[in-house]
Structure 1
Amino acid sequence: MTAYEKPRLDMAEVEGILNNHFGTKAVGVKPQEGGNLSSVFSFTCNGIEGIIKFSDLEGAYETERYVSNLLNNQGISYAKCLGEGKVGPLAYSIMERIHGSNLVEYTTEEKRAQLPELMDILTRMNHVTVGPTSGYGWIKPTGDGTYPTWKDYMIAVFAEDQTGNFWEGWYDLFRSTCLEKDVFEELYSRLMDFSAYNEPHRHLIHGDFHPWNILSDGRRITGIIDGNFAYGDFLVDLAILKVHMGEFDIIQAYLDHQEQAGITIPDFKERLIGAYYFKGMDGLRFYAKMGWKDAYYYNRDFLLNLTR
């Protein structure tokens, strides 16, 4: 299995799609860095600065509008959805551009100064009111989750039989990449053991909450982008952030904020370990598929060394 390559478009194609969508000319179209699965471009049209993302993956962007409205209506600065559509095999999503740079680009001290605000945003995002919705896992355009339980979601995520999505045929990675089947099976067994702690908790999860998806002006957080949204245990987002911001004591900063907010988190340690396994295993197969061996082995060793 070869590494995934996101769609490639030239400026003229992107301009044509934007012009057709808005019925007027878009200007200043420029490719943007980042986005492992989407090709991203910035533009200006009718005085609005926007971003357009393209993907060839099934179901891409189907819930962008729902989640964008949900978060912005409850005071969380997430990119506002301006439109969506399809062009041939590609889906596209048009979002209002949030000013700022990826948090990862700032100095250690600049990031450290923004940790309290980041903990507050993470907490408020995970505790938004989701209304009369049901289910766990990936959010459907209706606002409901895809699976009846958290465990069903986990089983589906790592099932061998996947069709029409990024992980179709992913078991080939055991034969063609550094992905080790015995290691994966050991971690899967641990994941199932710890899932009992995560199972009862249903909140909104960003699903990809790391410094490349957090925007800042260097002094404050300006917004959040590019979620892989689901319903489940919110400690999944904390686990992701901890792994990607290991230079800070993210866990203590988070617990300090929860104490100040009067929030008690039962079974915190066990739930966090379950979250590490869940996202970490997904990371292992992603790194293997992309050919990122250093990231694979670092993550592998971290997961194998987890203890209660």
Structure 2
Amino acid sequence: MSKDLILKSMLSEKICMTPHGFVADQLTPQQFADCCDLIFDKILEISSTDIAGVGGYGQFNEDCKTEYATCREFLIDTFTEDKDGYWYNWREMFETTLLERQFFESYFKEMEDRIQFCEGKRFLVNNNTFFINMITDGKTMVGFPDWSRSGICDFLLDFAIMDLNKPYLKIPELFFEYCKKRNIVIQDYKERFLCMAYYKGIDTLRWHASIDDTESCKSIMKSIGELKDRINAI
């Protein structure tokens, strides 16, 4: 059975893989504010998927299996140098691209120090919740057609990706208020959000540096650098 079919069998009928509407990237800030609860509902619906038959952490392979036994192994191994393929010997980028060694190492350490708060938090994640990958009608429907990066991790990863994409929309702040209104308690919310955000942030930064995307690198570094103050102010 293909990964898409396995995922379809796992997901609730409330999660649409073939949505109709427009790309969520087209939402204005006001339109997003009007429908953010709907988007948050659907991401939490993903995280409520029964994964009792799926072990480990990390991105799914074609058989919907994960590679790592722990969250720490997954996050740390993402940045090893000896993997075959695109990221082989990637640390050479510190000398040849926009990627700054001190910045990367600083936020890698920030991520590593917080992994303990995410360990044991196992949920299905879409892991590609950039606004360009979500379809909505802005009122009653939000769907996720791209599951190529899906896997098992702390569900706050999906919210951290949204914030990395559009930090001016204040995703962690809005989601915190959303949870308060619904009496949803997320243990160690701030530390877990920062861990997931730093993980995805430096990984995405590495990608944009590899293609010499100066504008995106500056934007990502600014977002990563400002996030802790934003989170602590909640």
TM-score (norm 1): 0.68
Q: Say whether the 8 Å CA contact 1:100–1:217 is kept in structure 2.
A: yes
Distance 2:177 2:131 in 1: 20
Distance 1:74 1:140 in 2: 23
Name the counterpart of 2:5. Answer: 65
Task: Specify which of 156, 171, 174 is matched with residue 235 of structure 1.
Answer: 156
Amino acid at match of 2:8: S
SS at match of 1:231: strand
Distance 1:247 1:182 in 2: 26
- Show structure 2 runs of 5+ residues with no match: none
Displacement of 1:270 after TM fit?
0.8
Q: Say whether the 8 Å CA contact 1:119–1:253 is kept in structure 2.
A: no
Distance 1:221 1:289 in 2: 36
Name the counterpart of 1:284. Answer: 205
Amino acid at match of 1:303: I
Confirm whether residue 121 of structure 1 aligns to residue 42 of structure 2: yes
Displacement of 1:171 after TM fit?
2.4
Q: How many residues are aligned here?
A: 227
Q: Say whether the 8 Å CA contact 2:167–2:223 is kept in structure 1.
A: no
Displacement of 1:265 after TM fit?
0.5
- CA-based RMSD of the aligned residues comes to 2.1
Bigger relative contact order, structure 1 or 2, given CA contacts below 8 A and separation 6+?
2
SS at match of 1:146: coil
Displacement of 1:69 after TM fit?
3.1
- The percent of aligned pairs where both chains have the same amino acid is 23
Q: Which has the higher helix share?
A: 2
Confirm whether residue 176 of structure 1 aligns to residue 86 of structure 2: no
Deviates more, 1:280-289 or 1:237-246: 237-246
Displacement of 1:143 after TM fit?
3.4
Decide which structure has the larger Cα Rg and report it. Answer: 1
Confirm whether residue 134 of structure 1 aligns to residue 55 of structure 2: yes
Cα pair distance change 1:302/1:218, threshold 3 Å: closer
Name the counterpart of 2:110. Answer: 190
- Show structure 1 runs of 5+ residues with no match: 1-61, 80-97
Matches within 5 A, 1:237-276: 237-276=158-197
TM-score (norm 2): 0.87
